[in-house]
Chain A
Amino acid sequence: MSGQQPERPAEWRLTPSAVQGIRFTRATRRNPGYADSEVDAFLARTQVELQRLVAEKIELGEEVDALRRAADEREAQVREERAARAAADAERAAADAERAAAEPAPAPREEVTVQAVHILAAAQQTADQYVAEAEEFSRRMGQEAREHHEQVVQEARAEADTVLRQAAALAAVAREATPVPERDPQALQEEVAYLKAFGQACRTQLRSYLEALLDDVEHEWGRADPHAVIARPSPTVQRPAVEDSPAGAGSPGGADAVVVNGATVVDVR
């Protein structure tokens, strides 16, 4: 349809100036008016032209409608986009405002509303409550821990007392069983050594005395003078043994001295 438009310059088109320039040939004298054939031809062309104009008009109308629709659509789209952008802007602005509100204002704000004061007061009270609960919890824990501690210490002390009492009782029993007074081991050893040495000395002296007595019995028996034999050696032997032994026993070498002593006794005889 639209393809016809470029053909137009090649075709003859009925235009106002063309209509103005139309000159029909005069008919013959016999037949006054224009020549029929020319008028007919013009009419035919006019019909074609009118048909084409009508068609073109319809076509253009349709095109206008389509364009108008497209324009409307585009406009709607633009409007929508603009609205979306505006909404985003508004949101950003709101966020900014919120941030600004949250941030500490460097200068005193003009108006602190009572409502804001109450909101902050409520938040502070909540925080206070939490801190108080934590402190109370800590207080209870501390108290219980101390009570527990004191109980444990008390029990331990009671137990220690019991153990000490039992030990003391056992010690008393043991002391009664062996009533010997306790002595220094060193002193005991010295005494043992002394007693040993004393025993040794006694034994040596006794042996010497008995031997001497035996000698006397063997040698003097025959002289029939028993009084002289028995009376003479007995005082000389016994006296030094008793007096010298303790002095010698004080030292570890006491046994030797006593032995020497015993020998002296024998020598004296």
Chain B
Amino acid sequence: MRENFARAAAAGDEAPLFFYSHLFLSHPETRALFPVSMVHQRDRLFRALGQVVDLVDDLDALVPVLQELGRDHRKFGTVAEHYPAVGASLLAALEHFDDDWDEALAADWTAAYGLVAEVMVAAAAEDAAEPAWWDADVLSHERRTLDLAVLQVRPRVALPHRAGQAVSVETGLRPRLWRYYAPANAPRPDGTLELHVQAHDGGPVSSALARQVAAGDVLHLGPAVGTFTLPSDSDRDLLLVAGGVGLAPLKALLDQVARQGPERRVDLLLGARTARELYDLPALREAEEKHPWLSVTPVVSDDERATDVEHGELTDVLRARGPWTSREAFVAGPDPLVADVAAALAAHGLPPARVRTQVFTPSRPSPDVQGEVSA
């Protein structure tokens, strides 16, 4: 089976292209579940299949992944009836790209796919009490910078989540395109969520959310996923390091400390190029006033005029502050920043197990095998 899959994977884009075309021809009603452009979709399919094939001998690891996938697929409008159709087209594609295809292989794949589908359908069915997706009203939409907006949204039905987790978001402006955003708050009594959206050039969803969505619009939200959360078995002091909208999940974590405790020291370091990028500083300063255990340090690298901030590189300021060795560290932001900070903390002597990172890339499709939201 692995050999056979490798052959299909070697065909590159051709294999998933064949698969989807076959699926849409044999079951045209499934086309409506996908976006107009299928490029990323095709990438995703074979990556996911590759993960499944890699783990096929390790059911203990595979099953949770499949369960997560099954639950996650509910928001796309996938129902149990779609699974056999997908299976048939998958087999057709695998056969098409393999000259050595035979009955035995077909039987193996049928059995394997049957298992995959069974686990996914069962996981989806377990969640049937929960909505497949949540309609959420946009209460306010605030442009903070040229391409960054802060939205307050209220799901019409309570959306259970933990601070630091992410929810996928779809707007009617870009149907069938889901992107993950981490709410910047711990669960609130009124169920509202704060979303920080950075518009990426050419990013269809982020630019629509940052620039076109307005109060009164309705967004679709998927279930909360991710493990970027406070460990329940530790009440160590926290070190939070953010760049850009990486602030969102970290703000949620400090919100959790404020709402639920246990009270502990929380140091938030906020890296930015210019003071203008510190889009949420007033709210953070307010929290700092209110909570004696919180200290907020904005670090600006490229803006001499900025006042009331530290100047320099985030990692230098991080090293100069310290010591952080007793902390639980959470780092979120763009890739180079997260890698640099993680390396600096490792060099500082913080055990890797206590450094959690989340990379924010322009397009984060879905959680990977480990359940990480970052792509």
Contacts and interface: CB of A to CB of B under 8 A. Distances in A.
Contact of A142 (B21, B22, B39, B199): B199
A117 B146 contact: no
Contact of A127 (B28, B36, B203): B36
B37 A127 contact: yes
B61 interface: no
B83 to A, nearest CB: 13
A127 B36 CA distance: 7
B38 A128 contact: yes
A131 interface: yes
A135 B39 CA distance: 12
B202 interface: yes
B108 to A, nearest CB: 22
Contact of B25 (A116, A143, A157): A116
B17 A114 contact: no
A142 B202 contact: yes
Contact of A105 (B20, B28, B37, B305): B28
B92 interface: yes
Interface stretch (A7-15, A32-40, A118-126): A118-126
Interface string A208-247: 0000000000000000000000000000000000000000
A112 B199 contact: no
B36 A131 contact: yes
A138 interface: yes
B244 to A, nearest CB: 15
Which residue of B18, B20, B85, B202 has the most chain A CB atoms within 10 A of its CB atom? B202
A149 interface: yes
Contacts of B85: 108
A128 B25 contact: no
A139 interface: yes
A104 B28 contact: yes
Contact of B207 (A105, A117, A121, A138): A138
Given A108-B88, A146-B146, A139 B201 contact: yes
A138 B22 contact: no
A136 interface: yes
Interface string A43-62: 00000000000000000000
A118 B39 contact: no
A109 interface: yes
B36 A108 contact: no
B38 to A, nearest CB: 6
Interface in B139-157: 146-147
B202 A112 contact: no
Interface string B75-95: 000000000010010001000
A132 interface: yes
Contacts of A149: 146
Contact of A112 (B39, B92, B146, B147): B92
B24 A120 contact: yes
B29 interface: yes
B322 interface: no
Contact of A121 (B17, B26, B146): B17
B27 interface: yes
Contact of A118 (B21, B36, B203): B21
B131 interface: no
B27 A114 contact: no
A117 B25 contact: yes
Contacts of B146: 146, 149
A112 B39 CA distance: 22
A132 B37 contact: yes
A138 B201 contact: yes
B96 interface: yes
B204 interface: yes
Contacts of A142: 147, 199, 201-202, 207
Nearest to B199: A142
Given A138-B202, A146-B146, A124 B88 contact: no
A131 B25 contact: no
Interface of A: 104-105, 108-109, 112, 114, 116-118, 120-121, 124-125, 127-128, 131-132, 135-143, 146, 149, 157
Interface of B: 17-18, 20-22, 24-29, 36-39, 85, 88, 92, 96, 146-147, 199, 201-204, 207, 305
23 contacts: A104-B28, A104-B29, A108-B85, A108-B88, A109-B25, A109-B26, A112-B25, A116-B25, A118-B21, A120-B21, A121-B20, A124-B17, A124-B21, A125-B17, A128-B38, A128-B39, A131-B39, A138-B204, A139-B202, A140-B202, A141-B201, A142-B207, A143-B201
